[in-house]
Structures are given as structure tokens and as C-alpha cells.
Amino acid sequence: MLAAFCVGLVIVLFSASKSEAATYSQVVDNSTSGRFSASSKWVKSNYNSQRYGSNYRVLKRPGSTSANAKYKIKTPAKGSYRVFARWPSNAGYNNRTRFSVKTPGGWKSKVVNQRRNGGKWVSLGTYTLAAGDSYRIKVSRKSSGKGYIIADAVRISRTTTTTSTTTTAGAKVIQEARKHLGKPYVYGAAGPSSFDCSGFTQYVYKNAVGKSLPHSAKSQYSYGHSVSRSELKPGDLIFGNAGGSGIQHVGIYEVFNGKGYMLHAGNEQTDVERTPFPNSWYNVIGYKRLV
């Protein structure tokens, strides 16, 4: 915070009652039969011990005539899914590898550095996926970076609650946040008479839905799961800054009179306010859903 501006195929499926969460997860490895497609130029390797399973694929000449590597993914229903990828890392691997995810609105891409984060599941984001079974995640054969491109394993996961549960929780967050509009901004304050940005979100979530958060915008960013701008729902958190770099500010997404807004403790001049969102002065770093 700043004083001036607050700062193998693996499928698991559980059914659930209306008050419970329904969880679905799937892992597809490059060696999963019938679920991975790549040309012979994507050679098999077991050199790096950070691999998932017995081997991984290596494209030594990015931009060659080889086709993209593709993963066939099964989704039981249309909805929001978190997508992850895994690769072994090495200084000789590609520093700008492009993963793409097929959504109803087209392919969405994420560029990653395969010289880092080896041997762990790395989030590519949250995407809307259609129901069905098809090739919907791919690793591009082209790259603006340098080094070998790796195709190892991918994973999707989904945890949902009923619409009524989600709507009620988000509505409670908004209802609590609106109570404090106009209260003064004080750096380091966490309510109830005054707030800074993370003190405001901390107080609102604790009193609305009983969820405890740290008093730090940067630390709060590690909670919940990422959503895209198109998937924002009332009660989601918006992280970013009004200049500079890094996470320096956090606010709560609201829909008011049919338009998007951010409820937040801005600074000494604005106090707790409602501002239009999106806007030109706020640099967004990410969105998180906690309820």
C-alpha cells in the first residue's frame, strides 16, 4: 500500500447437493493415449527430471513447419474452468512459449517463460469452456522468444456452487461495502469509521461473509482464484495501481444501474467511493473471486 494511494488421463468428478460444491478436474499428459497430438518434430525426451510422467515433448526449432501441439480436453458442462500447464524448466528452453485455450468466443492466449517454474502447475488463467470433448488447449510452434519449446502436461479444474449461493454471497459483500460509502480514507485504517484500500476489503469480507483477509492489497491477491474481466461478478476483487508498477490498490466490483463500478477506499481526497469501471486511470493487474 502507498500513503498517497492505498496499496496419464486423470478425471475426478464429484456430484453435490445444491448447498455444496461440485468439483471436476482433468489432467492430460503428452503421453496420454488419444488425447495429445503433435508431429514427429516434437521429439520425446526424459532428460529433465522435473517432467510430468515418463517424458515430455521438445520442439527444437520454433516456427518450423511442424503443427502446434494439442491436448484433447473433456468438460462435462459449459462453465468457468481454471487452466494450468506444467513443464520442466531449463536455461535453454523457450522464454516466450504461447499456450492457447479454445473458448466459445475464440482462442485466448497466455505467454509463459519455460526457463522458470519447472515441475509445478502454473496457472494460465480462468476461461469459459464449452461442454464436450475436443482439442481445446494448444502449445504454439511459433515464438518471439528463444530456446526449445516444451509440451508436457495440462490440467483443468472447476469448483462451482449453485447460482443462488454465489449470488447471495456476492450480494452480501456489495451490501456491506455500500454501507461505508463516504467514510474517510486514513492510511493504515481498517474500519469501521475509516479505511485504507485493503483495510476496506478486509473489513467488508469479514463482516459480510466471515472471510478473513490480510491488511495488504498485495497479500490479498494470493487469495481466491483468478477470473477474466468478462467473467467479473459483483463482489469480485480488482487489483492494480493508478501509476507505477505492482499491486498497490484493491477494490470491489459492483454493478449499479446496469453499469460496472469499483467500490474502494481511494485516497485522502476521495474517501470510500464508487467509481466507474473500467476507466482510463486504473491499471488492472488481475481479478480474484473469493466467494
CATH assignment at residue 68 = 2.60.120.260
In the prediction, which pLDDT does 159 show?
59
As a whole number of angstroms, the distance between CA 226 and CA 152 comes to: 23
Cα–Cα distance list, 212 to 26, 168, 185, 291 (Å): 30, 18, 21, 12
| Residue 14 counted as domain residue | no
How much is the average pLDDT of 91-96? 97
| pTM reported for the whole predicted model | 0.53
User: 5 in a domain, yes or no?
Assistant: no
Q: Which of 143, 148, 137, 157 is nearest to 36 (CA)?
A: 137
Q: Does 254 score more than 50 pLDDT?
A: yes
Examine the pLDDT at 276 and tell me if it is beyond 90.
yes
**One domain, residues 114 and 172:** no
CA 171, CA 152: separation in Å to the nearest integer? 41
Count of Cβ atoms closer than 10 Å to residue 271 Cβ: 17
In this model, does residue 256 exceed pLDDT 50? yes
Confidence band of 1 (pLDDT split at 50, 70, 90): very low
Report pLDDT for 160. Answer: 53
**Is residue 10's pLDDT more than 70?**
no
Does position 73 have pLDDT exceeding 90, yes or no?
Answer: yes
Sorting pLDDT into bands at 50, 70 and 90, what band is 93? very high
Percent of the chain whose predicted confidence (pLDDT) is above 70: 89
Domain final position from 119, 145, 160:
160
Cell 481445446, located at residue: 136
Asked if residue 129 has pLDDT above 60, the reply is yes
Residue with the bigger pLDDT between 286 and 23: it is: 286
Rounded distance between C-alpha atoms, residue 227 and residue 273, angstroms: 24
Which residue is associated with the grid cell 449470488? 167
> Is the same domain home to 192 and 98?
no
Closest by CA position to 5, among listed 179, 244, 220: 244
Both 268 and 213 in a single domain? yes
The pLDDT of residue 154 is above 50: yes
| Number of domains into which the chain is organized | 2
Residue ending a domain, choose from 142, 160, 178: 160
- CA 12 to CA 162: how far, in whole Å? 19
* pLDDT for residue 17: 34
| Residue 103 CB-half CA count within 13 A | 19
- Res. 6 pLDDT band, cuts 50 70 90: low
Residue with the larger pLDDT of the pair 182 and 48: 48
208 and 259 share one domain: yes
Scored b (16 or more CB within 10 A) or e, 140-160 reads bbebebebbbbbbbbbbbbeb
Query: What's the pLDDT at 158?
Result: 83
What does the pLDDT average to over 89-94? 97
Amino acid at residue number 53? G
Strands 132-139 and 272-276: unpaired
Domain for residue 141, yes or no? yes
> Which of these three, 93, 128, 160, is where a domain ends?
160
Q: Are residues 26 and 149 in the same domain?
A: yes
Domain contains 17: no
What's the whole-number mean pLDDT along residues 27-49?
96
Residues 226 and 124 in one domain: no
Instruction: Examine the domain organization and report whether 104 and 195 are in the same domain.
Output: no
Q: Is residue 66 one of the residues assigned to a domain?
A: yes
User: Do 144 and 226 belong to one domain?
Assistant: no
Do 155 and 50 fall into the same domain?
yes
Write the DSSP symbol of residue 148.
B
pLDDT attached to residue 285: 95
Same domain, residue pair 84 and 177: no
For 83, the domain range is 22-160
Facing residues of 151 across strands? 57
Q: Residue written as cell 509445478?
A: 120
Q: Per the domain annotation, does 11 fall within a domain?
A: no
DSSP H or E stretch at residue 220: helix 217-220
CATH code where residue 224 lies: 3.90.1720.10
Looking at residue 165, its pLDDT comes to 41
Nearest to 180 by CA among 203, 198, 209: 203
> Quick one: 171 and 139 in the same domain?
no
68 plus 110 within the same structural domain:
yes
Q: What angle do CA 166, 167, 173 make, to 5 degrees?
A: 95
